[in-house]
């Protein structure tokens, strides 16, 4: 087993205090599925090592730490100290990992991967604590967060009293932060139950005297408190950290999550108090989001660390893969036209879908954001119930807030690569392009389709250059992405557009031809018939 020197670690690792200032520059593949290209400069990312127990129900322990670190945007490596069989009812079994093997895991990670912060959770035996202490001596980690896990919230013992003296005498003096809950603070102090904020302050001070740099007494279990109040003590000042107490039974793993999120923020370079505040707010947000999710039959459910699980419940009919054939009849709304015809956005969209529109884009340039979001939500419901994708023009924020299927951006809007980073891999991104070069760039930046035009002169867009059928054909021939034609297209000319006969021209996008008319449904129906005929 190789042991790496402290000099080596300090020369290569994020333990160096200046690591935050190193340039974080690298280039990677522009296409989602292609292999990485030329790495100009390597980038180190913040890294937390968690030394904790596995929880089979994945609400607490190692699994909580991994999810919390992923959600907080840091890398997390894992040293497993015990495997537990547990669920929402309680802990059915505990298998401690032999201490030698805990040591092996520690060395494997620490001798190879630069770690910023070590966070400990369940350390089920005195022998494992000893191995950890030895390793910490060898590897000189810069920040150590100790969550002194002893009893699960269900009341089951995860680490017995045998660990107490080495905690008090050896581990806590090495800790930058120790985060006991009320029961753990009493156990460390060998004192009766802690029941009030005043008790928490006294406990924080007494535990501070055991040697850690900072103490956070967690008040999740404080009786009769309407807020969730934790006490932080840095040796000089007490801070009362309050958040609203979320009414939920899904609190399994809050302690592990808080400690690993604090470690994550420390790894990013935040000082202690801001790191704790950000982590506490994250726990509160995740609990609030997860308050009504149901897992298992027991009294204590897990929560959703990634704040995402409910997205897929509300949209069972959502299509996960973009189908270019959906571009056939692409209806783009216009707030001016809706006003002129005295129609709500939703009514306009309803008519378009019922008439056969295969994809909808909301292009609301002068609608208040709040009204726009509200309309987008009701259009999304409508679209989902018909299996029609909903795209939002330009407003990435609105697209994310209503969980639309995608966004469409122009050449002077946010760059596609930035949009992709913001919206993730699942959303559809469309880009307006007039030239083969722009089409190539859209493909490189991982867009899903391009809109090419104006094919014909149009009133919908001021000072828009017309590319004509020739310009459209040139772009289509040079585009690796499917294309939808736009600009002045309607019943009279849709056929000639499709007839240019390039396979990746998948359809036409229309604004006035649908929405500047008395009956959107009728016009959509007519257009759909023309396009279906032309596509044969």
Ligand X SMILES: Nc1ncnc2c1ncn2[C@@H]1O[C@H](COP(=O)(O)OP(=O)(O)O)[C@@H](O)[C@H]1O
Active-site residues: which are they? 218, 251, 253-256
**146-185 mask for ligand X (x: CB under 6 A)?**
-------x---------------------------x----
Task: Provide φ and ψ at 185, rounded to 5°.
Answer: -65, -45
Does 287 interact with ligand X (rule: CB under 6 A)? yes
CA–CA dist 138, 110 (Å, integer): 10
For ligand MP5, which residue of 15, 48, 55, 507 counts as binding (CB under 6 A)?
55
Does 507 interact with Mg ion (rule: CB under 5 A)? no
Half-sphere exposure of 396 (CA within 13 A, CB side): 17
Tell me which residues in 432-451 interact with ligand X (CB under 6 A).
Answer: none
**80-119 mask for ligand MP5 (x: CB under 6 A)?**
----x-----------------------------------
Which lies closer to ligand MP5 via its Cβ, residue 261 or residue 346?
A: 261
Residue 62 Cβ vs ligand X, minimum distance, rounded to whole Å: 15
Tell me which residues in 208-237 interact with Mg ion (CB under 5 A).
Answer: 220
For ligand MP5, which residue of 13, 153, 186, 250 counts as binding (CB under 6 A)?
153
Closest residue to bound Mg ion by CB: 254
In order of 174, 357, 503, the CA distances from 529 in angstroms are: 75, 11, 19
Residue 112 Cβ vs ligand MP5, minimum distance, rounded to whole Å: 25
Closest residue to bound ligand MP5 by CB: 61
The set of long-range contacts for 238-245, using a CB threshold of 8 Å and a minimum separation of 24, is: 238/201, 238/204, 239/273, 240/197, 241/216, 241/276, 241/277, 241/280, 243/280, 243/281, 243/283, 243/284, 244/284
Determine the straight-line distance between the first and last CA of the chain, rounded to whole angstroms: 68
Strand partners, 392: 362, 407
Which lies closer to ligand X via its Cβ, residue 120 or residue 153?
A: 153
Token look-up 């419901």 returns 381
Which lies closer to ligand X via its Cβ, residue 228 or residue 485?
A: 228
Query: 3-state class of 79 per DSSP?
Result: strand
Does 243 interact with ligand X (rule: CB under 6 A)? yes
In order of 14, 233, 289, 353, the CA distances from 117 in angstroms are: 9, 20, 28, 53
Residue 225 Cβ vs ligand X, minimum distance, rounded to whole Å: 9
- Per-residue burial over 80-118, b if 16 or more Cβ lie within 10 Å, else e, is bbbbbebbbeebeebebbebeebbebbbebbbeebbbbb
Which residues are near Mg ion by CB under 5 A? 153, 220, 251, 254-255
Which residues are near ligand MP5 by CB under 6 A? 52-53, 55, 60-61, 84, 121-122, 149, 152-153, 158, 252-256
Which residues are near ligand X by CB under 6 A? 153, 181, 218-221, 228, 230, 243, 245-246, 248, 251, 254-255, 258, 280, 283-284, 287
């Amino acid at each position: 087993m190789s042991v790496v020197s402290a000099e080596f670690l300090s020369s290569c690792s994020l333990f160096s205090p200046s690591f935050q200032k190193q340039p974080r520059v690298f280039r990677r593949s522009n296409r989602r599925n292609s292999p990485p290209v030329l790495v100009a400069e390597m980038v180190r990312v913040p890294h937390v090592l968690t030394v904790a127990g596995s929880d089979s129900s994945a609400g607490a322990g190692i699994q909580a730490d991994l999810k919390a670190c992923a959600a907080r945007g840091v890398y997390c490596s894992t040293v497993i100290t015990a495997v537990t069989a547990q669920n929402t009812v309680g802990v059915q079994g505990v298998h401690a990992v032999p201490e030698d093997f805990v040591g092996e895991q520690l060395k494997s990670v620490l001798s190879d991967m630069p770690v910023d912060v070590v966070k400990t959770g369940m350390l089920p035996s005195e022998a494992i604590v000893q191995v950890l202490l030895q390793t910490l001596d060898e590897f000189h980690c810069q920040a150590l967060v100790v969550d002194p896990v002893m009893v699960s919230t269900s009341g089951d013992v995860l680490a017995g009293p045998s660990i107490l003296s080495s905690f008090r005498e050896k581990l806590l003096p090495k800790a930058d932060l120790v985060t006991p809950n009320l029961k753990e603070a009493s156990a460390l102090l060998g004192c009766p139950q802690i029941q009030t904020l005043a008790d928490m302050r006294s406990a924080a001070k007494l535990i501070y005297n055991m040697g850690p740099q900072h103490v956070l007494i967690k008040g999740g279990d404080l009786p009769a408190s309407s807020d969730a109040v934790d006490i932080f003590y840095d040796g000089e000042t007490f801070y009362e950290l309050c958040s609203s107490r979320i009414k939920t039974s899904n609190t399994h793993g809050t302690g592990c999550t808080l400690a690993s999120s604090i470690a994550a923020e420390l790894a990013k370079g935040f000082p202690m108090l801001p790191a704790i505040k950000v982590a506490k707010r994250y726990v509160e947000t995740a609990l609030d989001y997860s308050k009504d999710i149901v897992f298992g039959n027991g009294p204590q459910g897990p929560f959703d660390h990634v704040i995402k699980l409910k997205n897929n419940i509300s949209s069972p009919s959502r299509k996960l893969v973009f189908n270019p054939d959906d571009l056939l009849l692409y209806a783009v709304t216009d707030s001016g036209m809706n006003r002129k015809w005295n129609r709500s956005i939703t009514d306009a969209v309803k008519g378009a879908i019922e008439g056969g529109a295969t994809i909808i884009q909301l292009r609301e340039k002068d609608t208040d954001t709040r009204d726009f979001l509200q309309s987008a939500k009701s259009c999304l419901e409508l679209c989902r119930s018909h299996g029609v994708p909903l795209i939002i023009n330009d407003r990435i924020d609105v697209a994310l807030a209503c969980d639309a299927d995608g966004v469409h951006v122009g050449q002077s809007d946010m760059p596609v690569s930035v949009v992709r980073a913001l919206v993730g891999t699942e959303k559809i991104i469309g880009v307006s392009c007039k030239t083969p070069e722009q089409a190539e760039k859209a493909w490189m930046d991982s867009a899903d389709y391009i809109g090419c035009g104006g094919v014909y002169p149009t009133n919908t867009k001021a000072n828009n250059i017309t590319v004509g059928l020739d310009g459209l054909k040139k772009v289509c021939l040079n585009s690796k992405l499917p294309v939808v034609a736009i600009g002045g297209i309607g019943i009279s000319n849709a056929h000639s557009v499709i007839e240019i006969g390039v396979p990746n021209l998948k359809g036409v996008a229309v604004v006035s031809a649908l929405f500047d008319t008395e009956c959107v449904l009728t016009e959509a129906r007519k257009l759909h018939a023309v396009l279906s005929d032309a596509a044969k």
